[in-house]
Structure 1
Amino acid sequence: MCDPEQKDLYAVLGGSPSDSLQQLRHRYQQLALKYHPDRLGGENSAESSVKTFLEVDAAWKILGDQTTRREYDLQRRAQELKQDWTVDSTVDLEDMTWETDECECSYSCRCGGTFSVSKEEEMHQGEQSGVLVCCDTCSLTIYVTWSLNKKMQMSK
């Protein structure tokens, strides 16, 4: 839903994450009227208008529903955090140690602290193949990756 190459859905509607549902609906209606294929005047701009209309409609389908909007906002925020944080290194989940007592994978930090990924965190990542993890002692961050096939095996 929140792909780095994908346009910001709020920007497509000319809004912001702080806009209410009514404000977004109003923006959607204005843009839908402006770019709807039935209202096109010139043939040469028809293709770009239809493309814009489809983008606006797709953005509204996600942002117009509370559940999908919440999911989009969470994925959007996770993407922002990935871009903002300095990642010290990338670690594969297979290189981490499984801690049976805590039901989590751990990896030692150079400061003596620990990076931990619980099974619940892995399962909440959906189709993503990694997660940012902070050290429990210092400010270092690692990016833990896994193959989706391996993740499915661990969940069984």
Structure 2
Amino acid sequence: MCDAAQKDLYAVLGASSADSAQQLRQRYQQLALQYHPDRLGGEASSEVESAVKKFLEVDAAWRILSDQDTRRQYDLQRRAQELKQDWPVDCTVCLDDMTWDQDESVYTYSCRCGGGFIVSEEETQRRQQDDEQEGTEEGEHRGVVVCCDTCSLSVYVTWSLHRKTC
């Protein structure tokens, strides 16, 4: 269910989380008929390939949302993700792309409003220690949402785990 958690499965089916199981089934059946590879026999290969991809996406969404337990689990994951993200994220910025300020011991990145995003070295080290305690693997990326010091924009600052900080 990891790949599916990155996509909005309800949007894949053209539905909403408030829809009943019957409404989801009807939407799935409509889309399955529309994109099923057997219905596109004589069309160009690129169109068939695109339809197969869409059909597999719709089928994967249906497999999760059709079962009451997996749907509940998916809904809980979606809700948890929504609660984690308090602000709309404007973009993702790699910590390596930020400017290191030796005097302040912070990483900075300019906002389009003229303000800036600031991440302290202490914050990155603390998060890295948390990640090491969780047993995350080498090469994984983690990050933190940082708000502009002037406007309401925020960015998601990422870094590779087990990186050396300044």
TM value normalised by structure 2: 0.51
Q: Return the alpha-carbon distance in structure 1 between the equivalents of residues 72 and 62 of structure 2.
A: 13
> Mind listing any 5+ residue stretches in structure 2 that lack a counterpart?
88-122, 138-166
1:147 aligned residue: 135
State the AA in 2 paired with 1:146. Answer: E
Report the CA distance shift for 1:8/1:46 in structure 2 as closer, same or farther (over 3 A). same
> Mind listing any 5+ residue stretches in structure 1 that lack a counterpart?
96-128, 130-144, 150-156
Q: Return the alpha-carbon distance in structure 2 between the equivalents of residues 62 and 24 of structure 1.
A: 11
Report the CA distance shift for 1:94/1:47 in structure 2 as closer, same or farther (over 3 A). closer
2:49 aligned residue: 47
1:61 aligned residue: 63
Runs of 4+ in 1 over 4 A off after TM superposition: 2-5, 89-95
Report the CA distance shift for 1:16/1:3 in structure 2 as closer, same or farther (over 3 A). same
Shift of 1:11: 0.1
Shift of 1:4: 8.9
Match runs of 1:1-156 below 5 Å:
1=1, 6-40=6-40, 41-43=42-44, 44-84=46-86, 91=126, 146-147=134-135
Over the aligned positions, Cα root-mean-square deviation in angstroms equals 3.2
Render the CA deviation track for 1:94-115: whole Å, top value 9, x for unaligned.
77xxxxxxxxxxxxxxxxxxxx
Report the CA distance shift for 1:4/1:22 in structure 2 as closer, same or farther (over 3 A). closer
Shift of 1:28: 0.0
Q: Return the alpha-carbon distance in structure 1 between the equivalents of residues 4 and 83 of structure 2.
A: 12
- Equivalent residues of 1:93, 1:146 under 8 A apart: no
TM value normalised by structure 1: 0.55
Matched length: 101
Q: Return the alpha-carbon distance in structure 2 between the equivalents of residues 60 and 84 of structure 1.
A: 29
The DSSP-based 3-state class of the residue aligned with 2:32 is helix
- Equivalent residues of 1:36, 1:49 under 8 A apart: yes
The DSSP-based 3-state class of the residue aligned with 2:17 is coil
Q: Return the alpha-carbon distance in structure 2 between the equivalents of residues 74 and 45 of structure 1.
A: 35
Q: Return the alpha-carbon distance in structure 1 between the equivalents of residues 31 and 4 of structure 2.
A: 24
